[in-house]
């Protein structure tokens, strides 16, 4: 009986650790992965005129998941003391004590070890860009301690895949890739500012910097302008690559989404609404991708 009881205890502890690991990499919240992935896929499909190798597409899909997961781990390690003072993040695995810092570092190293072989599938230029992407993922969590606009650093990290994808197809970094990269920075500033609205009061108390605090009452204007500049860059991508009306229709639909977000933020949103608007950016990313696919085919 003692042996059975001991086994049950071990199984229970194992399940608790697995649940904590799942929470650490946000396994059930993959909208972050998609926000990393979409710019890379936009660039990949445009660079390949709609027909990239499926093996290469799979590399960027898996790579986006692994790198976003690694970014979450580093974020939680860096923010563990801060997370305990923020309502939304108090239950995160490290902050709540469900995982130790050493265990989290182990998970990070495993994720990097899994991601590393993917880089060797790429050509030399894309492979050389990969470590910079990792560095950006590591640096971002510390940006909010130094900069009032850490969302821009997030955008650089999330958009780096667009440069890598273009390089992987054409062995260069072309103007369309740079435009997608810049568009992603503006896009991330917009949607992550909306996300930051959820933590604004807590961030003010503990001294964390964010665009939601920086822009204050003009947050709606900053969000709307960032969305507009991002879409403008994507329109230029269409111009320089001779995209057709289907692509621009996708951008127009995105514009309607973004206009609604801006309008509602100006009126005032609560935490639940801010989170909903943040997540709906995934829909816009998918619409733009579908516009590229349908137009090029």
- Interval 110-141: pLDDT, tens: 999 999 999 999 999 999 999 999 999 889 88
pTM of the model: 0.93
Give me the residue label for tokens 């880089």: 119
d(CA 94, CA 108): 13
d(CA 266, CA 285): 23
Q: Give me the pLDDT at residue 141, please.
A: 84
| Cα–Cα distance list, 160 to 181, 215, 258 (Å) | 7, 25, 23
Q: Give me the pLDDT at residue 3, please.
A: 56
Tens digits of residue pLDDT in 54-111 = 999 999 999 999 999 999 999 999 888 888 877 788 889 999 889 999 999 999 999 9
Tens digits of residue pLDDT in 127-184 = 999 999 999 988 988 888 888 898 999 999 999 999 999 999 999 999 999 999 999 9
Neighbours of 31 (CB within 10 A): 17
Contact 230, 183 (CB under 8 A): yes
d(CA 125, CA 279): 33
Tens digits of residue pLDDT in 12-21 = 778 888 999 9
* Structural domains of the chain ordered from first start: 30-296 (1.10.357.140)
Long-range contacts of 79-82 (CB under 8 A, 24+ apart): 79/141, 82/206, 82/208
Mean model confidence pLDDT for the chain: 92
């Amino acid at each position: 009986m003692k042996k059975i009881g001991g086994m049950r205890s071990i199984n229970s502890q194992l399940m608790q650790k697995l649940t904590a690991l799942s929470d650490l990499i946000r396994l059930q919240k993959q909208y972050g992965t998609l926000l990393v992935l979409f710019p890379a896929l936009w660039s990949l499909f445009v660079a390949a005129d709609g027909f990239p190798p499926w093996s290469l597409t799979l590399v960027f899909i898996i790579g986006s998941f692994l790198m976003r997961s690694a970014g979450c781990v580093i974020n939680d390690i860096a923010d563990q003391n801060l997370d305990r003072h923020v309502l939304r993040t108090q239950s995160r695995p490290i902050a709540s004590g469900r995982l130790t810092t050493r265990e989290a570092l182990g998970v990070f190293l495993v994720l990097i070890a899994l991601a590393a072989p993917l880089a060797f599938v790429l050509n030399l230029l894309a492979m050389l860009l990969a470590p910079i992407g990792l560095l950006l993922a590591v640096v971002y969590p510390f940006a909010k301690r130094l900069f009032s606009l850490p969302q821009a650093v997030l955008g650089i990290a999330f958009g780096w895949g667009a440069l890598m994808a273009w390089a992987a197809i054409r062995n260069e970094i072309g103007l369309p890739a740079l435009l997608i990269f810049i568009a992603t920075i503006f896009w991330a500033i917009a949607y992550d500012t909306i996300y930051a609205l959820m933590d604004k009061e807590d961030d003010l108390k503990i001294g964390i910097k964010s665009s939601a605090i920086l822009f204050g009452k003009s947050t709606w204007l900053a969000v709307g302008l960032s969305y507009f500049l991002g879409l403008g860059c994507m329109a230029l991508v269409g111009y320089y690559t001779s995209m057709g009306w289907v692509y621009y229709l996708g951008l127009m639909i995105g514009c309607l989404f973004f206009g609604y977000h801006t309008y509602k933020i100006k009126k005032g949103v609560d935490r639940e609404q801010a989170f909903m608007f943040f997540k709906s950016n995934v829909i816009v990313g998918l619409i733009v991708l579908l516009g590229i696919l349908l137009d090029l085919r």
